[in-house]
Amino acid sequence: MDKRRDAVTIGLDFGTLSVRALCVRVSDGEELGAATVPYEHGVMDAVLCAPSGEIPLPPNWALQSPQDYLEALSAVIPAALKTAGVSPEQVIGVGVDFTTCTLLPTRADGSPLCLEAEFENEPNAWVKLWKHHGAQRFADRLNEIAAERGEDWLVRYGGRVSSEWMFPKIMETLEEAPAVYEAADVFLDAADWIVWRLTGNLTRNSCIAGYKALWCGGYPSKEFFRALDPRLGNVVSEKLPGPVVPVGTRAGVLDEAGAALTGLCPGTAVSAGHTDAHVAAPALKIAEPGRMMALVGTSTTLLVSSEKYVPVPGVCGIVKDGILPGLWGYEAGLGCVGDAFGWFADNCLSPALLDEARERGLAPVALLTEKIGAMEPGECGVMALNWWNGNRNPLGDGDLSGMFVGMNLTTTPVDMFRALVEATAFGTRLIIENLREHGVAVDEFMASGGIPRKAPSIMQIYADVLGMDVRIAGTKEGPARGSAVYAALAAGADTGGYDTLSEAASHMGTDPIRTYTPDMARHTVYDALYRDYLTLIDYFGRGGNDIMKRLLNLKRKTVHGRS
């Protein structure tokens, strides 16, 4: 009897605003059904919605509620099963991926501190979302001290640790809310916390630990942490319990509480947690070095593997086995893409464009995306810097902000939107060229996510800017499908899954569905515009003019003074 014939795995993709559950048939990768449930409180970046009322937040903060994750999880799996026509008994494994580093402090049993009356009004007790940049000054301190001490692991992170990562966020908590730090038995990423809730086992996955928590087969030394702050000397032994386990391994099985939470059967295999972007590689059948995978969504994560290790400045991380087994995985990315497009559509459209969108039954961002497709490079007369959520790479500075250059009285919202899209393409090109210049091959570009599948004008701009083909993944569910692949690996062949990642990917992965080929005449125009983009990068991002930071500091003082 073929155990795989009716076997199904579920990929859980916890995004910035919602969780997605995808049911995938193990034998052939057929997507049987899916469901999405939004988080009740979304992203809290202006005020913390505490039980006692709204509490104003400083600039560059981004918090979430762990209770939102659990409530969404309890609703999304039954909904996905119903849509797919799948019974809980058919499900042999569950995989979990998450935006990262999304950090929370808990008690020893995993209960979040923010759900206790003592800490419910303290912002530092809540989940700090990946795009929380309030810890930039602590990242600056960490980078300065690591460089002064000559810490050899720093080169693995491009020479600069981001404010989005674990230890700057922990440092921020220690400095601003020491009572929270003392009460926390555990600091961990949300992906590992969800796996803990499902299985009762506290584990940390090697992908997130490697890329976001300075884990290179071990954490930095006690001496380094003491140099950051004497109180951090024992942060690893006291605050980071749990083994670091390889991705693709079984973290445990659903215990009674996990089964009750999900509606699945006790004993169902649960894979180790994973990062939302990295997990998509097997879903896209990416198994060779030099093939870049771009997960384009609210932000963009760019991933490529190499057979050899070479240091590259200005990347997020270089981790052995970080993306594919046996290869060095390089991660870089843009901190704001779809988020910026959405912001612009929500705030910057003219009444005429809003009326047209309503009359045609289009979302405003869809109307803008359509209109920019009829424009040529340089036609808008505007250039932008895509730093609406800071610069992740290559500058690693969350205190930078966005801008437009070249506007006049004839500039339209469509012109501005085209410039904003081009800026994200320029930022992507900058990362690719940085990798190539330092010896990492980028021979192919594969885009995954909602934007690549539904915005042809944007993908053609990317192809023209990059001067290379842009292939579109055969699934819009890259992370969720990848998590389902890893769930089949965690389940193993004995229960209807697979024993190797390559075998699981070959059966459950997808091929590209479309390729955008660059127009080389447009590429020539973009070459000139790109040089101007680099000039802006140097001037506003590398110390030529720190006006962005001065404005942010003034805003911080004003907001604090008012609150």
The winner for highest mean pLDDT among 153-162, 520-529, 542-551 is 520-529
Work out the average pLDDT over 452-473. 97
- Residue 540, CA distances (Å) to 3, 160, 341 in order: 59, 18, 22
pLDDT of residue 5: 77
Is the pLDDT reported for residue 130 higher than 60?
yes
Q: How many domains does the chain have?
A: 1
Is the pLDDT reported for residue 1 higher than 60?
no
pLDDT of residue 411: 98
Domain-embedded: residue 190: yes
C-alpha 363/C-alpha 151 separation (Å) is 49
Query: Which residues, 6 or more positions from 237, have their beta carbon under 8 angstroms from its beta carbon?
Result: none
Strands, E assignment, 335-411: 383-385, 403-405
pLDDT of residue 117: 97
Mean pLDDT of all residues in the chain?
95
CA–CA–CA angle 11, 106, 171 (5° rounding): 105
Residue 123 belongs to domain with CATH number: 3.30.420.40
Q: CB neighbours (10 Å) of residue 429? A: 20
Phi, psi of 345 (to 5 degrees): -65, -30
pLDDT of residue 242: 97
pLDDT of residue 560: 60
Domain-embedded: residue 151: yes
* Residue 92 contacts residue 496 (beta carbons within 8 Å): yes
Work out the average pLDDT over 416-438. 98
Domain-embedded: residue 398: no
Work out the average pLDDT over 102-108. 98
Query: Which residues, 6 or more positions from 59, have their beta carbon under 8 angstroms from its beta carbon?
Result: 134, 552, 555, 556, 559
Is the pLDDT reported for residue 6 higher than 90?
no
463-515 pLDDT tens trace: 999 999 999 999 888 999 999 999 999 999 999 999 999 899 999 999 999 99
Domain-embedded: residue 245: yes
pLDDT of residue 229: 98
pLDDT of residue 563: 54
Q: Which residue has the tokens 């032994």?
A: 237
Query: Which residues, 6 or more positions from 280, have their beta carbon under 8 angstroms from its beta carbon?
Result: 293, 295, 448, 473, 478, 479, 481, 482
Work out the average pLDDT over 48-67. 95
Domain-embedded: residue 270: yes
pLDDT of residue 322: 87
251-294 pLDDT tens trace: 999 999 999 999 999 999 999 999 998 999 999 998 889 999 99
What pTM does this model have? Answer: 0.85
Work out the average pLDDT over 158-172. 95
Work out the average pLDDT over 63-69. 98
The count of C-alpha atoms lying within 13 angstroms of the C-alpha of 475, restricted to the half-sphere facing its C-beta, is: 25
Give me the domain span that covers residue 266.
Answer: 8-278+477-508
Q: What contacts 24+ positions apart, CB below 8 Å, involve 520-527?
A: 520/467, 522/376, 522/377, 522/464, 523/464, 523/465, 523/467, 525/376, 525/377, 525/378, 526/377, 526/422, 526/464, 526/465, 526/467
Q: Which residue has the tokens 């000139």?
A: 528
379-402 pLDDT tens trace: 999 999 999 999 999 998 989 999
C-alpha 482/C-alpha 314 separation (Å) is 27
Q: Give percent of the chain above pLDDT 70.
A: 98
Domain-embedded: residue 348: no
C-alpha 332/C-alpha 158 separation (Å) is 9
C-alpha 143/C-alpha 151 separation (Å) is 10
300-350 pLDDT tens trace: 999 999 999 999 999 999 998 888 878 999 999 999 999 999 999 999 999
Domain-embedded: residue 164: yes
The count of C-alpha atoms lying within 13 angstroms of the C-alpha of 61, restricted to the half-sphere facing its C-beta, is: 21
Domain-embedded: residue 523: no
